[in-house]
Structure 1
Amino acid sequence: MTQAVVARAPGKINCYFRVGPPREDGYHSVASLYLAVSLYEDVSATAREDEEIQVFLHPDSTAVSDPESFPLGPDNLVVKAATLLREHTGHYAGVDLCITKRVPIAGGMGGGSADAAAALVACNALWGTGLNREELSRLGARLGADVPFALHGGAAVGLGVGDELAPLLLRTRTDWVLVPASYGLSTPRVYGMLDRLRANEQVETPSEVDPRMIGALLDGDLDALAPLLVNDMTRAALALAPELGVVRDVGEAAGALHALVSGSGPTLALLARDQAHGAEIIAQLSDEAGVATLQVHGPVPGAGILPTPIETP
């Protein structure tokens, strides 16, 4: 057993997600409102004597049903993050990285991006490379559009492909019930479906998040906020997984103020009035639908070092 530097980064939900038409580079311009929530990925970093980068999955990873199928090779984002950091800094040290996954995989909650953010923070601390958060964010953007937000956390408006962030000084807590699916949806596949569904429609490039929604969120006005929650990806996710519509309807019938797909899905996010109301929704969903649920809140901070290192296998 050995001690290690451990970093923790949050998953996210998209309270607002407008998607423009496909661009020439294959991406889509978006207008998003990100909210970091209290469901976390942990990455521990332990120095090696050689220059290898090895990745392991912690046995407490609740989001992984089949550990044998979880990819631990060079395509894993924590490997890419550690490799990018040492190439950028010239610090060619080895590291063992152990991931504790709790955010649903391919669930539209940015779990892979949280892994990358946590790996950047952990390796930066372990190696003493001294990059500040802005420098780490610029590196993170090369790994994925959601990585800079996982580093900063809190709440933010995201434009461009989601990486042009404008933080919101949000102090009002919101409570959510998450309904993870037993399967994932590939983000490119959902975007492709959305493009097919909108093939004959005039689609505008979004330029802002609805100011009324930002105001309702800042004020903590849940009754005003609920009808403004929107995600253009919902129709595509429902086309690929129609059962999500049934669960969404059950969630709203159970008392949720609003239910929407987070990101590209298939995780559903149900807005509750407070923590106690969220517990009531969970009880009713369990009784009526028998679905698995998670209770979270936001905003929470972005990636950071845990004060007490954990022991890793």
Structure 2
Amino acid sequence: MSSAMETPPAVTVRVPAKVNLELLVGPAREDGYHALSTAFQAVSIHDDVTVDADDDWGVTVSGRDAAAVPTDETNIALRAARLLAAHAGLDEPVHVSIRKDIPVAGGMAGGSADAAATLIACDHLWGLGTPREELLELAAELGSDVPFLLHGGTAIGSGRGELLAPVLARGRFHWVFVPAKGAGLSTPAVYGEFDRLHAEAGTTPADPEPSPAMMSALRSGDATALARAFTNDLQPAALALRPDLATVLEAGLGFGALGGLVSGSGPTVAFLTAGAESAIDLAVALTASGVAHDVLRATGPVHGAHLLTAPRIS
């Protein structure tokens, strides 16, 4: 019988989705990315990612929208595992198993979440003890949202979103998310439409920085003030590509949401409510009216990627 040292047990990490409370988009940079200022909040919709030692590198996906997630070498979670192995000078293949609840291509960073979870899981499986700063650097190589999913809570992102500053935010917020019917929106397509709309209007985006209204609302913990401070510069582009989202936004506000916005690059629509009962009422109204085929209720902020199981110490 193999010992735990010879065959480490699987490691499972739970990781949240994110919503952008404020997403301010500046001009395109020389590297092709846009300058951003964004207020992230981690919310209680989770993926569970399990890594297990195996003879070959591989990935399987189950749960929500599983068929839309690639299971070849382009999978970002598998890329995360390989990146950490290369960084540590290891050649120890793993199989990554992803159980999804976060919508795919929905503007809630589902792929980035899986990459963040895989970094944490592999670090524990291999017993590396990689310093947090190094994990954040590796996360930034994988994608702009990945560092925040390691971080969790509420934070301000700058650069292309990967540079994080924690926010001392108060309060517990109650959310209702409406995943869009049909295909998701690709982030590059939404940014391309953002650029096209500005070019058509003859305008240049301003250099972004956090708004005083957003910072004040986060410090106060006031849900009404937070809803009033919502801004998403990508929302016009997302609505141009998916005009049906405007109907969802209008309905949610009509049914009593404090505020609503497209989450990130979309097409998931996020509504903030006054409390738990209001969230239930809104979810019921959206589905009963036929506006939404599916809704997800969540709270935030929550912790970033964290262990559910870890290898036993012999």
TM-score band by shorter chain is over 0.9
CA–CA separation in structure 2 for the residues paired with 1:120 and 1:252 = 38
Letter of the 2:270 partner, please give it: A
- Is structure 2 residue 22 aligned with structure 1 residue 16? yes
Query: Which SS does the other structure have where 1:100 is aligned?
Result: strand
Query: Pairwise mapping of residues 46-65 of structure 1 onto structure 2 (< 5 A)?
Result: 46-48=52-54, 50=55, 52-58=56-62, 61-64=63-66
Shift of residue 94, structure 1, vs aligned partner:
1.3
Shift of residue 22, structure 1, vs aligned partner:
1.6
Query: Which SS does the other structure have where 2:185 is aligned?
Result: coil
CA–CA separation in structure 1 for the residues paired with 2:9 and 2:148 = 28
Residue 148 of structure 2 is matched in structure 1 by 149
CA–CA separation in structure 1 for the residues paired with 2:145 and 2:96 = 21
CA–CA separation in structure 1 for the residues paired with 2:11 and 2:205 = 46
- Is structure 2 residue 80 aligned with structure 1 residue 74? no
Shift of residue 149, structure 1, vs aligned partner:
0.2
> Which whole-Å deviations, capped at 9, do the CAs of 1:206-227 have from their partners, x for residues lacking one?
1x21122122122121222222
Residue 36 of structure 1 is matched in structure 2 by 42
Query: Pairwise mapping of residues 89-108 of structure 1 onto structure 2 (< 5 A)?
Result: 89-108=88-107
Letter of the 2:105 partner, please give it: A
Shift of residue 196, structure 1, vs aligned partner:
0.6
Shift of residue 171, structure 1, vs aligned partner:
3.8
* RMSD (CA atoms): 1.5
Query: Which SS does the other structure have where 1:239 is aligned?
Result: helix
Query: Which SS does the other structure have where 1:142 is aligned?
Result: helix
Letter of the 1:184 partner, please give it: G
Query: Pairwise mapping of residues 189-228 of structure 1 onto structure 2 (< 5 A)?
Result: 189-199=189-199, 200-206=202-208, 208-228=209-229
Unaligned runs of 5+ in 2: 1-7
CA–CA separation in structure 1 for the residues paired with 2:270 and 2:9 = 36
- Is structure 2 residue 256 aligned with structure 1 residue 255? yes
Query: Which SS does the other structure have where 2:35 is aligned?
Result: strand
Letter of the 1:12 partner, please give it: K
Letter of the 1:193 partner, please give it: E
Residue 138 of structure 1 is matched in structure 2 by 137
Once the two structures are aligned, what percentage of the paired residues are identical?
Answer: 47
Contact 2:169 2:221 survives alignment (8 Å): no
Shift of residue 80, structure 1, vs aligned partner:
0.6
CA–CA separation in structure 2 for the residues paired with 1:25 and 1:260 = 28
Contact 2:10 2:310 survives alignment (8 Å): no
Shift of residue 3, structure 1, vs aligned partner:
5.5
Shift of residue 290, structure 1, vs aligned partner:
4.6
Letter of the 2:18 partner, please give it: K
Contact 1:133 1:151 survives alignment (8 Å): no
Query: Which SS does the other structure have where 1:223 is aligned?
Result: helix
CA–CA separation in structure 1 for the residues paired with 2:138 and 2:69 = 25
Residue 185 of structure 2 is matched in structure 1 by 185
Query: Which SS does the other structure have where 1:189 is aligned?
Result: helix
Letter of the 2:238 partner, please give it: A
TM superposition score normalised by structure 2: 0.92
CA–CA separation in structure 2 for the residues paired with 1:282 and 1:3 = 40
Query: Which SS does the other structure have where 1:177 is aligned?
Result: strand
CA–CA separation in structure 2 for the residues paired with 1:236 and 1:72 = 29
Letter of the 2:91 partner, please give it: Y
> Which whole-Å deviations, capped at 9, do the CAs of 1:268-313 have from their partners, x for residues lacking one?
000101111100111111221351100011100011111489xxxx
Residue 169 of structure 1 is matched in structure 2 by 168
> Quick one: structure 1 residues 139 and 223, their matched pair in 2 at CA, closer, same or farther if it must change by over 3 Å?
same
> Quick one: structure 1 residues 187 and 42, their matched pair in 2 at CA, closer, same or farther if it must change by over 3 Å?
same
Contact 1:150 1:303 survives alignment (8 Å): yes
Residue 297 of structure 2 is matched in structure 1 by 295
TM superposition score normalised by structure 1: 0.92
Letter of the 1:186 partner, please give it: S
CA–CA separation in structure 2 for the residues paired with 1:96 and 1:250 = 43
> Quick one: structure 1 residues 39 and 234, their matched pair in 2 at CA, closer, same or farther if it must change by over 3 Å?
same
CA–CA separation in structure 2 for the residues paired with 1:70 and 1:277 = 33
> Quick one: structure 1 residues 131 and 250, their matched pair in 2 at CA, closer, same or farther if it must change by over 3 Å?
same
Contact 1:13 1:37 survives alignment (8 Å): yes
Shift of residue 38, structure 1, vs aligned partner:
0.3
CA–CA separation in structure 1 for the residues paired with 2:228 and 2:291 = 27
Query: Which SS does the other structure have where 1:41 is aligned?
Result: strand
Contact 1:113 1:147 survives alignment (8 Å): yes
